[in-house]
Each structure stands twice: as structure tokens, then as C-alpha cells.
Structure 1
């Protein structure tokens, strides 16, 4: 008879953070598609752009060799040519847990922080700290999971989890655990289901999904990696790796000094700047635990899209940051040609100061061919679990080549919904044509504006 274990209600829950902040649109990217030192036409979710991927792979090798200090990367190319995907590929090629922080340059003007503070926090979020320590944990493959719900206290039409019962097994033991709502919420957020191998920290209640067990089905393109069933008891003491960022350490030190105050409902107000002396203390702490062998630094990627929107002050700040001892790899991307540097009347390639351009390794992306568009549409359809008939795939390929790849991919879901409404599980040509009649492409929108120009407000 399996033992029923009740966890304590006072468990503290750590925030569950996604590895990549811009993950949904590029879940199919697993690396740069390099096999045996050669870039393949279609691999790791990439199709085409072989020259750009080869250049990116060379950047990865320079970073791993420690020969990229004081440099950055600039990815230039027309819209929809895979610039963001290329940056994600670089991060994933470095390691599975390489921090990847993505933002648009325009965000620095809408934040409540000063531009330099916003950029500093982004830089320090892109530097990871991997700490090793012994913890008491519950670990095993999920044999069954039952989430219990209650009505929301303020909304009778919404249910909230109040706990869960999960059965975990290893090669040597099986236990049933009754866990509180804090852990049940994490199980839901992480999409835990039967066949997943998970670990629950007894002290903090943090749930980690380690992979897919022996009995778990492999059911889609973005499936979790397959791992062996754990050995030994379900409840054990285990050396685990915890992952933080430099910004997490900054915030912790600032809270200790009372610089970040708890607001209503327990949320933390972080609009106040973190003083430089606090960051120096955090850096000293990190260097100490690294020197003692208790942790290691994991430099990540700070990806700034629409880099032409940065102003002259921001470029000066980033240029200085590249020379810092504790700095991530800065990757910029833009689709602009000759443009004014924001904050000046000076025109420059890509709207970036020439002294900054001198520090950047520039990678070019090019428009996709018909063959590449076809493969990308197929990959995105597989990722969404959408079946395409041959004639629908050909039409979407034509639309992607003549209009834009993004527009072709945007038509997938509405076409699929139309097919489902008609009782079919596969998209036909007429479904794509129907979706195209509802949603205009960029070219059609421009033609529409020209046709009714006199009726639009000036």
C-alpha cells in the first residue's frame, strides 16, 4: 500500500521562470542546425539561411574559446528572415541553460525606470549563476496526478487549485504525495502530466520537470527530453543545481537593505533604482562563491531587437558594458538601412553609431526562397499540430514567397479553425483562401489605403 505523505502548508514557493522570455514564436529552434561541423539546410528547426547560421556558429566557437571579449553581434536583414531565431539558436548552441533575455529597443522608453537602469537590469538578467547544494527532495516519474479545485473566493465562475495528489515512482519505490495549492499551481503552470519525471524541493516547494520517463509518450515536436527512471527512494537527499541571475542577487541584496519595499498584496515594487554600491556588494558575493567552488558564472545572451530605436546615450552605455568583466553577449538586430541615429541628426548604417558598429560582428540574413518557405510552413504546421493538404501547402508557399512568410504563417490557425468548423482535421486550399479573404497582407493593406486615400483622415 503506497504511503500517503502530507506536505507542510508553510512551504515557500519560488517563482517559476521561463528559460526564454520570447519562447512561444520560436519553440522549434533547438540550435543552429550544425552536424559534424557543417550547417545543414534543414535542422534544429532552422531552414535555409546557411551563411548566416555558419557565421553565427563561428561566433559560438569564439565565445566558447574566450575570444569574444569587448565584442557584440549585429544581425541585419529584411523583416521575417529569422533574426530572432538566429539569436535564440546562438544561445541554445552555447548550452541548454544559457540565459536568454529578449527585448525590443522601444521598451526602454515606456519603462518607469531610467534608460540606463532598465538596460543594466536587462544585462544582469542575462548573466546566470549556477549554484550546487544538497537538498531534501521528492523525485520520480509521475504515475498519476489529480488536481483538486475550489471556487475562487471572489469570482464564483472561476476555479482555483486547492491541492493535488500525485503518485511518484522510481526503479525501487513508489509513493503517493498530497501537496498544497502552492505546488498544485506549479504543476499546472509547468504542464506536468503522467510520464514526466519531476523533483519537488521539500523546503521551498519548487517543482522542477527533469524530462520524460520510460512510460511517457513522445507526442509532439517540442517534447521534453527522454531520461532514465530515477533509482533509489522517492524521498532522498540530493545534490541539485539552482539557477539565479545577477539581477536576482541584486534584488535580494536591495531587499535586505530595505531599498525595495513590499507593496499591497505582497507584490514587490521595483521601480526604484538599485544603487551602484549594492551591485558591487552583489558582485563581490558572487566572486566569493565562485572562487570557493560553490557556483559558476553562465554568461548569457542579451538580445535587443529593433536596435535602430536605441538613442545615442543607450549606445554609449552598451558600448561601455561590452568592456565589463561581468557582461553577457550583446546581440542587436535591425531591419533598417541608412537611418538617423536617434537623438541626433546624424545618419548612419542601420541607425547605429559608427564607433559602435566597429565593435560588432555583423551577420546578414536574406529573403527566403520558395523551397525554404515551404519547409518553414511545414515545420510551423507540425509545431501547431495542424495537418495540411498538398494544395494548401502550395498556396501557403506561394503566399509566403509573394507576400511575406509571417503572413503565410499567420493564416495557418484561422484556416485550421475553418477546417474544424467544416468537420475536417486537415486544411484544404479553400480554407487558406477563406482566411486570406478575411485578413489582409501588408501589400493589400497599402493598396487599400491608396484606393481610399481621400476618405482617410489626414
Structure 2
């Protein structure tokens, strides 16, 4: 029985993205649909975002950025993800919060530089040894999380792959198993596993694979030849990956010469120049392609004046990603100054940003989103439960309504019901307070709280 060897792997505790259901901006034949690609509503905002995509594709977006403004929970992050998806599957997408730059154990400018370079990719073509075939069976084994007894983590899997000429059963380690789960691999998918790195690529659905309305994958032919083979594939790196590799080599050299490993909080500028030269050489030789991605900074009002100045200069760089900022603030003080400005962003920076507005969801949109979220969780809602949750979404917030889905479902299941009823929703609401409820509670007992 064959086994897969791993050298470079992701951390098994890496958090999966919260917006993996977003597959694009919901554009069909040049028009934005009300509900498509994981989106519901926000049609005007998505139309504006799609125009940004077209400007980027036309090469008319140099030196510009995007600012998405709107109340909390109106899909600002999803909009940024949608732009990245429209630009291409391999488009790098790096999301950070404006407040992160103050908690990092490095200078603010170094933190931002790393984020910028993580958002720039290079696609390299090379020959690799891989396992490729249609998934005939997949058996995943789980263990308790070592730090959280209420969670499970994959400890491995057994997968059967077949081509037109061969079938193999493989034992898969936890790192690859986590990728299979994250990618939603199931029987009938055609996948490829890099033997050296363990990277999993989903190529499509095999001829025998059943098609579904949700998360549809393109039908492809089952590969020919052996399952284990040498194949020309495309590998993807970010500039930061290359920076880190070169810096690590420098550290290992120090260890060999002086008996210690050099630890630096910052990557030296000469290392980044070497990385840039490597990228340019790879592209000039026709072996690679540069892919500018997206750096998304949420809570942009938390950035200070120094950070805005740095980002403004970075936008003019030869190798710069698309910068997308988001905020839910109106007039706010620019951090590090006494100046108030729209959204807490300097006016000279605002002049360089295309601003997209998101609006609060209406009743129809909230109802549709709740139905989609319930379907994703495998929760059946009665009509009265859906109505109650929609009303809660209007009166409190959509996020709060969605948070009540699972506890209401557990209550219904404990009581022996297949579908969530209005009583289950009301029960969950009594247990968990909304933001408005919490504010009222604080006001009521303000004198009892510690100052």
C-alpha cells in the first residue's frame, strides 16, 4: 500500500476561512443576480465591485485602491473575497485587521510589508511526482483536539484513487486530510496530491461523480495511466514565501559558521531584493507568471497616520497588490493625530480610493440568507421559525439571528423534532442576548458593574 510523504505542510491548527462559500460576485452575462455565488442582495455594491474587476483586468487600476464602507454585517469582507474570486482562482487574498499592526512583534512597516508581499504571487511550472485520480472512497478518522476537548481534528484518512488503467488505496496523513476537508473533497472528485509537499488540487468531477446545484465542479475525464506518476504541474508561491525561504537559508548559514541560528524580527532588505531578482529571472525565462493579489485591511480606521503614508507609497510600487480597505466608521479621528476625517482615513488617501457602499439588508434578503445558512448547516426550519429569525435579524442584527440557528436546532433535536420551530428560536433567544439586549442590561445594572 502506498503512502504519501510530506515535507512542507500547513499547521494542523490553521483556521479555515470564514468566506469559503463565496465563489465570485454573482455576475451572469454581465449582470449581477440577486442571489448567486454565495451572495444575497447588495446588488449595487457588487456591480461596483465588478467594475473594479474589469478595470484591474484592463490594466487601468495602477496606483488606486478600494474602500468598502457600510454598517457591521453587510458583507464588506465577502465583497473583497468576491473580487479576488473573479480575478482568478489563484489570486492571492490576504486579510488582516487594522489593529493587528500594533500587536505584532515587529515594526508596523515590516508587518505591512509582509502582508503586501503575501498578496503577490508567482505561478511556476515544473515537473512533479504526484498521485492523481478519481476518488472512489474516502474514510476520514478523527481524534479529540489536544487543547479543546469539544473539538475534533482529523488524524488521517484512507483514500482510494482510480484512473482508467489503475486503482490504488493510500494512507493519508493528518495534514493532507485537513486539506481534503477544507476543499470539500468527496467521492467522484478528481484530485491530485503532490508527493513532496502534500498539496491537494481538486481538478473537477469525474464522469461517474454526481453533480449538485451547490458547489458545482466542472466535469472532466478520469485521468489515464498510473495513479502515481510524474507530471508537469503549476506551483504557486508568494513573494513572502520566497523572502522567508531565503531568510531561512541565511539563518542556517549563521548556525553553521557560528553555532547559532540568526533570529531576526525583520527580513533584511537585501533578502527581498534577492527574492525580487529571482522572480524577475523566473518570469524572463518563461518559467513563471506574476499574479498580483489583494490585500484586504478590515477596520481600516484603526491604522495610524504612519501606516496610511506607508500604504500610499506602496500602492505606487512596481510590484504591488490591489489594496482594499473596509470600515464601519463615519467621521472619526485619524489615529496618531487630532484630525477628524471621513472614516478615520486621511483625505489625501481617500482621494486615491474608489469607495463602494454596502447597505443594511432588507427583510427579503435576511430571509434568503437565513435559509441559505440553515441549508449549509443541515438545519430544517419551519415557516414560523424562519419568520421569527427574519424578524430578529431586522430588529437586532443578521449575525445574531444566524447565531441562534444552531442552539435552536439543538433544542429541537433534544425534544425529538426534525425541524426547528418558533418555540426553539424563542428558547435560544432567552439564553443568548443580542447586542441591543446587552446594552440595555448594562444600562439597567450600570451601578453594579466595576468601573
The question of 1:419 aligning with 2:409 is answered no
Deviation of the 1:260 alpha carbon: 9.8
Map of 1:265 onto structure 2 = none
1:175 to 164, 167, 174: 167
Q: CA RMSD in A?
A: 2.9
TM-score by length of 1: 0.88
2:446 to 437, 453, 456: 453
Map of 2:54 onto structure 1 = 61
Deviation of the 1:193 alpha carbon: 4.5
Whole-angstrom CA distance in 1 between matches of 2:400 and 2:253: 44
Q: 1:147·1:184 contact (CA, 8 Å) conserved in 2? A: no
Moved more, 310-319 or 214-223: 214-223
TM-score by length of 2: 0.89
Deviation of the 1:44 alpha carbon: 1.3
Assess, with a 3 A threshold, how the Cα gap between structure 1 residues 427 and 95 changes in structure 2: closer, same or farther.
same
Moved more, 391-400 or 235-244: 235-244
Whole-angstrom CA distance in 2 between matches of 1:7 and 1:375: 45
The question of 1:190 aligning with 2:190 is answered no
- Number of matched pairs: 438
1:40 to 33, 44, 54: 33
Secondary structure at 2:226's aligned position in 1? coil
Secondary structure at 1:277's aligned position in 2? helix
Whole-angstrom CA distance in 1 between matches of 2:125 and 2:439: 56
Secondary structure at 1:257's aligned position in 2? helix
Whole-angstrom CA distance in 2 between matches of 1:232 and 1:69: 46
Map of 1:15 onto structure 2 = 9
Secondary structure at 2:123's aligned position in 1? strand
Q: Over residues 366-385 of structure 1, what are the superposed CA-to-partner deviations in whole Å (9 max), with x where a residue is unaligned?
A: 11111111111111111222
Alignment of 1:67-146 (within 5 A): 67-145=60-138
Q: 2:251·2:262 contact (CA, 8 Å) conserved in 1? A: no
Assess, with a 3 A threshold, how the Cα gap between structure 1 residues 114 and 401 changes in structure 2: closer, same or farther.
same
Secondary structure at 2:251's aligned position in 1? coil
Deviation of the 1:250 alpha carbon: 0.4
Map of 1:341 onto structure 2 = 334
**Unmatched 5+ stretches in structure 1:** 263-267
Map of 2:249 onto structure 1 = 256
Moved more, 245-254 or 136-145: 136-145
Map of 2:258 onto structure 1 = none
Deviation of the 1:302 alpha carbon: 0.6
Deviation of the 1:113 alpha carbon: 1.4
Deviation of the 1:12 alpha carbon: 3.9
Q: 2:11·2:175 contact (CA, 8 Å) conserved in 1? A: no
Whole-angstrom CA distance in 1 between matches of 2:262 and 2:49: 38
Deviation of the 1:456 alpha carbon: 1.6
Assess, with a 3 A threshold, how the Cα gap between structure 1 residues 99 and 150 changes in structure 2: closer, same or farther.
closer
Whole-angstrom CA distance in 2 between matches of 1:83 and 1:282: 33
Whole-angstrom CA distance in 2 between matches of 1:195 and 1:299: 33
Assess, with a 3 A threshold, how the Cα gap between structure 1 residues 147 and 377 changes in structure 2: closer, same or farther.
closer
Assess, with a 3 A threshold, how the Cα gap between structure 1 residues 344 and 390 changes in structure 2: closer, same or farther.
same
Deviation of the 1:416 alpha carbon: 1.1
The question of 1:323 aligning with 2:313 is answered no
Whole-angstrom CA distance in 1 between matches of 2:329 and 2:60: 29
Secondary structure at 1:258's aligned position in 2? helix
Deviation of the 1:292 alpha carbon: 1.1
2:374 to 378, 381, 390: 381
Assess, with a 3 A threshold, how the Cα gap between structure 1 residues 269 and 389 changes in structure 2: closer, same or farther.
farther
Whole-angstrom CA distance in 1 between matches of 2:166 and 2:422: 51
Assess, with a 3 A threshold, how the Cα gap between structure 1 residues 58 and 75 changes in structure 2: closer, same or farther.
same
2:24 to 21, 31, 37: 31
Deviation of the 1:457 alpha carbon: 1.9
Q: 2:69·2:356 contact (CA, 8 Å) conserved in 1? A: yes
**Unmatched 5+ stretches in structure 2:** 256-260
Map of 1:432 onto structure 2 = 425
